[in-house]
Structure 1
């Protein structure tokens, strides 16, 4: 008498269904991640502008005059060189005593 050996394995159809579901999830998720990345960069730039504004205020209190350029803040050590630009690529400048991204 022969004994029948039963092995448990996935069929091709089951594997294809799993791959289809994973593919659909990726198609739905990837565009949302790209949108969130842009939103995070914009929010980060606004926060960086507020930080530079506070350093402009500190500079003004110490020197009794507002800095003429962003380089004045770097030179005096209020901000670092890499803080003159947002992660989105916008340059930070000082206009009318306030930090502005352009």
Structure 2
């Protein structure tokens, strides 16, 4: 008898089957959570801009517009990190996004 150290075709196919099942299970979960991650990143950006609005208001005694914040270098851009939502500031200094963010479960 020869002592061959290797895998048989059946063993390799079983390993490929197990890897395929694991990929089928994990890929939908990863894609489902990416939207949640984007929303959390956008919410963090909105919170940061809200803090900058308060800072600008303390220093200048008025509520700023987005362009005021950009000109004074409080913020660099007016879009969320995913680039799909634009930050807006109302007349009371409340920051929101346009279109509004979806609530996540």
TM-score, structure 2 normalization: 0.86
Q: Determine the structure 2 residue equivalent to 1:85.
A: 79
* Alignment of structure 1 residues 1-102 onto 2, 5 Å: 4-67=1-64, 69-81=65-77, 84-88=78-82, 89-96=84-91, 97-102=93-98
Please list every run of 5 or more consecutive structure 1 residues that lacks an aligned counterpart in the other structure. Answer: none
Q: CA RMSD in A?
A: 1.0
Structure with bigger helix share is: 1
SS at match of 2:40: helix
Q: Distance in 2 between matches of 1:70 and 1:5?
A: 77
TM-score, structure 1 normalization: 0.88
Q: Distance in 1 between matches of 2:11 and 2:36?
A: 38
Moved over 2 A (4+): none
Please list every run of 5 or more consecutive structure 2 residues that lacks an aligned counterpart in the other structure. Answer: 99-105
Shift of 1:65: 0.5
User: Which is greater in Rg?
Assistant: 1
Alignment: residue pair count: 96
